[in-house]
Structure 1
Amino acid sequence: MTELVVAAILPYGPASGGLTWSLLEWVAALHDARRSGEALGVFEALVSMEAAEAADGRGSIACHFYSLIGYAQMLDAYGRGERAALVRQEALALLTAWADTGERKSWSSYEASFWAVLLSFSGADGERPASDGPRPPSGTAPMEWSPDAMRGYLDSRHVLRDEVDALAVRAAEDPDRYLAELVRLHRVLTVRSAVYWEHRAHLFPEQARSLFDEGVGLARQLSQRDPAEGTRTLARPLIDQSTFYVAACAFGPALDDFREVVGYLGEVG
């Protein structure tokens, strides 16, 4: 169905309003169906559209940045590491160019919603079901989820917080056994919490910041214990935190985190 919707509105371009969201849904559907080449092709089209919109002043620079990050993560997932590195260099150049000034105008809540969808989509592969009920469709804005899916996904934060706290005690006693799983589970908690707080704009930065900080701190511990695997593990929460800072309009810290990422990955241009 999404493919048919996109085909119908694609000739009208971004002015049709729903094209961005439909492309995100289409990428997710293709990814879930393991149609990797097609998923990457649609994602590249989304990146190109966001780039053109930002260049013309008709769209958000932040959304262009988020789309580059999401595209690079999918390229990595499909074993296209060289291409992913080039895309991250493009994202770094973009963020460097506008970190001192930020967006040219306010786009209300559109950019944050776009960020939340891509963040939840990037975390979907590592998640377990949110509850015994329906799982939210990946690549779809929370406002489009069913009430049951929304309730199960967001209410699971409380159970996850308890599980993360309990696992943190075990990881402190036996990090070799539990720390990697703590990093993974903490990211699940962070993603779901960010989706919850994103549309509560006045509370979002304050409530979400500590979780991203915690995630980076845990990943740093893992990186120190296992440099071979931990460096790439650390890159992911740093990327998450960088995109969070952009969503919270803290562009300097976002750039610092992202520079650290490309340094860890050996992608410094």
Structure 2
Amino acid sequence: MGHRSGAGHAAARQTPHPGRADQGLSRSRRGRAAGEPGLHSWAVALAEEGRHAEAAAVYADLVEAEAHDEASSGTGDWNLMAWAVQLEAAGDIQAAIARSNDLAERCRLSVDQQTGPMACLVYALVNHARLLGMSATATGAHAALQAAEPICVELARTGEPKSWSGYQTTYWAVLLAASGRADEQFPPTGPRPPLGVSFQHWSPHVRGWWGDQERAT
């Protein structure tokens, strides 16, 4: 679930300006592989600048590229999650709902194939219900929560059928942070937390701002 590192990664962490953004988006649209160094970081940088629609476009390209890349790094779920969150931040709730549904279906397939934890499916369904509730489709939101209920019962009774690496906690933390975007008080200027992305991939400046000590100051 980690992104590539190196010189390209470091360069993409710099604050973007319009010219660099246009270049980055142009590169992604030329169909580069999902693992291209710096491309994930570019999407994060756009999100940190509040350029959510542009960030969503990069994540869309990453998800599409990985779908056609047999040697992909397995970051598809994370990119799909970030795509949905950036769409929500950009105000395109219906598109965010569509992508969150895709995420839930991917999690369901992983559970069926025993390649992913049941907990992540629960988290994806709860987040999907939240988005459906925002669009006033209460029936759909209720159905998503109903789908999560028997999974919760099974988890309580038997636990996961196999041991996982523990990334479920990060999975939940990313979705939980995204759900509270409206309640956060971000800096009036400058980069802000790229919600929808794991904390470990935020730029150092934003991680510092998010820390308790700097926030208190």
Tell me the TM-score normalized by structure 2.
Answer: 0.67
Q: Displaced runs of 4+ in structure 1, greater than 4 A?
A: 12-16, 130-133
> After superposition, what is the alpha-carbon deviation per residue over 1:10-56, rounded to whole angstroms, capped at 9, x for unaligned?
24589741101100110011111111221111110000000110121
Residue 41, structure 1, aligned to residue 98, structure 2: yes
| Contact kept in structure 2, 1:30 and 1:38, CA below 8 Å | yes
Equivalent position to 1:146, from 200, 203, 208 = 203
Question: In 2, are the aligned partners of 1:75 and 1:84 still within 8 Å (CA)?
Answer: yes
The higher relative CO (CA closer than 8 Å, separation ≥ 6) is in: 2
C-alpha spacing 1:13/1:65, structure 2 compared with 1 (3 Å): farther
Map of 2:120 onto structure 1: 63
Shift of 1:72: 0.6
Matches of 1:50 and 1:118, distance apart in 2: 14
On the 8 A contact 1:131/1:152 being kept in 2, the answer is: no
Secondary structure of the structure 2 residue equivalent to 1:17? coil
CA deviation string 1:48-71 (max 9, x = no partner): 000110121110110011101111
Distance 2:173 2:149 in 1: 20
Cα distance per residue 1:218-262 (max 9 Å; x no partner): xxxxxxxxxxxxxxxxxxxxxxxxxxxxxxxxxxxxxxxxxxxxx
User: What is the match of residue 234 of structure 1?
Assistant: none
- Give the conservation status (yes or no) of the 8 Å contact 2:174–2:197: yes
Q: 1:103-182 counterparts in 2 under 5 A?
A: 103-129=160-186, 134-155=191-212, 159=216
The answer to whether residue 165 in structure 2 is matched with residue 98 in structure 1 is: no
Runs of at least 5 residues in structure 1 that lack an aligned partner in the other structure: 161-269
Distance 1:25 1:3 in 2: 9
TM-score, structure 1 as length reference: 0.55
Q: Determine which structure has the larger helix proportion and give its number.
A: 1
RMSD over aligned Cα atoms: 2.3
Determine if the alignment matches structure 1 residue 73 to structure 2 residue 130. Answer: yes
Match of 1:52 in 2: 109
**Equivalent residue letter for 1:7:** E
Of 16-25 and 128-137, the range deviating more from structure 2: 128-137
How many angstroms apart in 2 are the aligned matches of 1:134 and 1:158?
14
Secondary structure of the residue aligned to 2:157 is coil
Q: Which residue of 1 aligns with 2:87?
A: 30
Rounded to whole Å, the distance in 2 between the matches of 1:65 and 1:154 is 29
Q: How far apart, in 1, do the equivalents of 2:169 and 2:69 lie?
A: 24
Residue identity over aligned pairs, in percent, reads 30
Q: Give unpaired runs (5+ residues) of structure 2.
A: 1-57
Q: In structure 2, do the counterparts of structure 1 residues 82 and 13 end up closer, same or farther at CA, with 3 Å as the change threshold?
A: farther
Q: What letter is aligned with 1:49?
A: R
